Amino acid sequence: MKSELLKVLRQADDYVSGQQLCSRFGVSRTAVWKAIRQLQEAGYEIDAVNNRGYRFLSAPDLLTPEEIRSRLHTGFMGQNCICLESVDSTNNYVKKLAEDGAEEGTLVLAEEQTGGKGRRGRVWETPKGKNIAMSLLLRPKIHPAHASQLTLLMAMAVGEAIRSCTGLEAGIKWPNDVVVNGRKICGILTEMNTEVDYINYVVIGTGINVNQQEFPEELREIAGSLRQNLGKETGRAAIVAAGMDELERLYDIFRKTEDLSALKDDYNRCCVNRGHGIRVMERGEAYTGTTEGINDHGELVVRKDSGEEVLVYAGEVSVRGLYGYT
Amino acid sequence: MKSELLKVLRQADDYVSGQQLCSRFGVSRTAVWKAIRQLQEAGYEIDAVNNRGYRFLSAPDLLTPEEIRSRLHTGFMGQNCICLESVDSTNNYVKKLAEDGAEEGTLVLAEEQTGGKGRRGRVWETPKGKNIAMSLLLRPKIHPAHASQLTLLMAMAVGEAIRSCTGLEAGIKWPNDVVVNGRKICGILTEMNTEVDYINYVVIGTGINVNQQEFPEELREIAGSLRQNLGKETGRAAIVAAGMDELERLYDIFRKTEDLSALKDDYNRCCVNRGHGIRVMERGEAYTGTTEGINDHGELVVRKDSGEEVLVYAGEVSVRGLYGYT
């Protein structure tokens, strides 16, 4: 009831009477009052006035299932939501849930990761209480060869969530880094368990630097946070929920064709590589060129300086701007 | 030492003196004698004659690391070998080992599976002590899209192991069922954990019906065992080891090109579908045609009765002979 109660209060412009809440949830006035007390104790500011009722004032920066669910507008994405204080890696945690049969859309968040993973076993730091570390379970009925495109959907969803929650101009560095002002704000690690032609499950791990202020020396030119760009803290639950809302919308579109044909224009509009010179590094070879973005399958279409057009696949190569990270 | 000792004795045509064994392994006569005693207690028949030494007579049908390793001629395939009395599923067991960093070539066998898995979550029965249930861990540095071809390599390796150990004419029903006289002898379930462009690990689960005599009513027309075809029992360890030997050879060839270009002729020679009428069933559609076998990527090249040539991908369709299972 608490997440529904929060939702009602948050959406109301004015006070909501205790009587309205009682009939809505079919409980006693005492039960409503108790739930309000618990929310206040958790850090929510809720004004209570005799004969007028309750009014939502502000929420603490909490990552709790209630806080996230009360902001969701999804059918399933993120609805089964688990928030942990500390975990080795949210991806590993969701993989275990997946093996035990957890449902599609299950979302796990952690205030801290002690063994967070980046791609190919690299480390991904999640300092306590500052950022978003989350992993989402999907069970798409698509061919395994098409699953890599889900990573691009998540990048699009996070970009949209950042834009709508903060007003910052979030772009995507192909294939799936979300960047603000030339610094990486979000990294995504997708892992799958598949049979030859069948996906058992996909886990999309997403790390978003929200309120972190300092980065290690070696990352300072590459990594950034929303806090650094905004000059103030941002609530994390709103970003999580907005991301889930947008991802569910994109996922529905994607599943119709199992490709990005209906989404590539939106992707390319956000793609920071588009229209700029890029350097592509393959094993032992590097070349420069330009790109207008991805094709229907998420591959980067690159025109080499020699005039030849080539398709670049995620991961087999590294793509950098000619000047700096993006 | 026991697996090395078995290997030496098994390969010798005559008695091997205790002194030879002492110098070979750098241990005392008593140590050699103790090892021989332990092998005898485990069911090996080893003749011991004063002044002549030891001679290998026969091995019990044991699945033990010593028994398997003493028959292997591989660099790594199956060398790290674990034999269990009972397990839910050897694939699940190897997945856990893989997450903990187990090395490529790790092989797990079980006398019994209590929750053995076939493809897409179907059940695979492994009655105690009769058959081979094994799962192999590979960590190929290839693109995930190419990994499905590993399943075809395993089918080739099992077919060759059956031919060399029993003399039976083992064929392959595309993509990866091993068949003898029109009945399925071996099923393979390959599972992978991947990132978008990178394979963390592949687990190839293989079930071979060796000494099972009876099958449930509903499988009788489809499933068979080596025992049914030979009229007598066959040692399982020899088949496991021969399969690992052959798989390592095939894997080395495969990795050079990441495709089956150098192996497809061998595959097609064993393919029981070749030159016969087949029925291909896709979702909601069925057609008949003929095939001459696979292409470089393991896809079945089918000429429809209408004359059109199509490529058939593993798993998206079901392929049956026009008359019966194969």
Chain A, nearest residue to B147 by Cα: A196
Q: Which residues contact A51 (CB under 8 A, 6 or more apart)?
A: none
Pairing of strands B45-49, B318-321: unpaired
* A chain contacts of residue B313, beta-carbon cutoff 8 Å: 197
| Residue B151 forms contact with A (CB below 8 Å) | yes
Contact between A99 and A137 (Cβ < 8 Å): no
Q: Is A298 exposed, middle or buried (0-12, 13-18, 19+ CB in 10 A)?
A: buried
Is A326 a member of any domain?
A: no
Kindly state whether residues B46 and B138 are assigned to the same domain: no
Kindly state whether residues B129 and B246 are assigned to the same domain: yes
CA distances to B206, B215, B224 from B218, rounded to whole Å, are 21, 8, 12
Q: Which residues pair with A288 in a beta bridge?
A: A279
Of B194, B198, B314, the CB nearest to A194: B194
Give the closest-approach CA distance of B109 to chain A in angstroms.
20
Kindly state whether residues A122 and A15 are assigned to the same domain: no
Chain B, nearest residue to A189 by Cα: B195
Task: Quote the DSSP letter at residue A320.
Answer: E
Q: What is the ipTM of this complex?
A: 0.70
pLDDT number for residue B322: 64
Identify the three-state secondary structure at position B184.
strand
Print the domain residue range for B278: 274-321
Secondary structure element (H or E) that encloses residue A29, with its range: helix A29-41
Contact between B201 and B98 (Cβ < 8 Å): yes
Kindly state whether residues A144 and A41 are assigned to the same domain: no
Kindly state whether residues B104 and B117 are assigned to the same domain: yes
pLDDT number for residue A221: 87
Kindly state whether residues B128 and B201 are assigned to the same domain: yes
| Residue B198 forms contact with A (CB below 8 Å) | yes
Q: Which residues pair with B45 in a beta bridge?
A: B58
| Residue A52 forms contact with B (CB below 8 Å) | no
Kindly state whether residues A27 and A137 are assigned to the same domain: no
Per DSSP, the residues of B61-120 read: S---HHHHHTT---SSTTTSEEEES-BS-HHHHHHHHHHTTPPTT-EEEES-BSS-B-GG
CA distances to B99, B139, B217 from B118, rounded to whole Å, are 22, 22, 18
Give the closest-approach CA distance of A1 to chain B in angstroms.
37
* A chain contacts of residue B197, beta-carbon cutoff 8 Å: 148, 313-316
In chain A, the number of structural domains is 3
Identify the three-state secondary structure at position A273.
coil
| Confidence class for position B324, pLDDT limits 50, 70, 90 | low
Q: Do A316 and B143 touch (CB under 8 A)?
A: yes
Kindly state whether residues A226 and A201 are assigned to the same domain: yes
At B97, list the tokens: 């080992």
Of B119, B143, B144, the CB nearest to A195: B119
Of A190, A193, A196, the CB nearest to B151: A196
| Residue B96 forms contact with A (CB below 8 Å) | no
Kindly state whether residues B24 and B82 are assigned to the same domain: no
Is B326 a member of any domain?
A: no
Q: Which of B96, B174, B196 to mutate to test the interface with A (most CBs of A within 10 A)?
A: B196
Of B92, B195, B313, the CB nearest to A197: B313
Is B315 a member of any domain?
A: yes
| Confidence class for position B277, pLDDT limits 50, 70, 90 | confident
Over residues A220-269, the pLDDT tens digits come to 888 999 999 999 999 999 999 999 999 999 999 999 999 999 999 999 99
pLDDT number for residue B58: 85
Per mean pLDDT, which range of B194-198, B248-252, B317-321 is the poorest? B317-321
Give the closest-approach CA distance of A264 to chain B in angstroms.
19
pLDDT at B231 over 60: yes
Contact between A9 and A17 (Cβ < 8 Å): no
* A chain contacts of residue B147, beta-carbon cutoff 8 Å: 196
Secondary structure element (H or E) that encloses residue B199, with its range: strand B199-208
Mean pLDDT of the region B127-137: 93
Q: Which residues contact B13 (CB under 8 A, 6 or more apart)?
A: none
Contact between B182 and B168 (Cβ < 8 Å): no
Per mean pLDDT, which range of A248-257, B101-110, B223-232, B277-286 is the poorest? B277-286
Is A315 a member of any domain?
A: yes
Burial A176-185 (b: 16+ CB within 10 A, else e): bbbbbebbbb
| Residue B313 forms contact with A (CB below 8 Å) | yes
pLDDT at A284 over 80: no
At A86, list the tokens: 């500390």
| Confidence class for position B250, pLDDT limits 50, 70, 90 | very high
Kindly state whether residues B75 and B54 are assigned to the same domain: no
Over residues A76-124, the pLDDT tens digits come to 999 999 999 999 999 999 999 998 899 999 999 999 998 887 776 677 7
The CATH number that applies at residue A109 is 3.30.930.10
Chain B, nearest residue to A99 by Cα: B92
pLDDT number for residue B87: 94
Phi, psi dihedrals of residue B244, rounded to the nearest 5°: -65, -40
| Confidence class for position B218, pLDDT limits 50, 70, 90 | confident
The CATH number that applies at residue A303 is 2.30.30.100
Kindly state whether residues B289 and B222 are assigned to the same domain: no
| Confidence class for position A322, pLDDT limits 50, 70, 90 | low
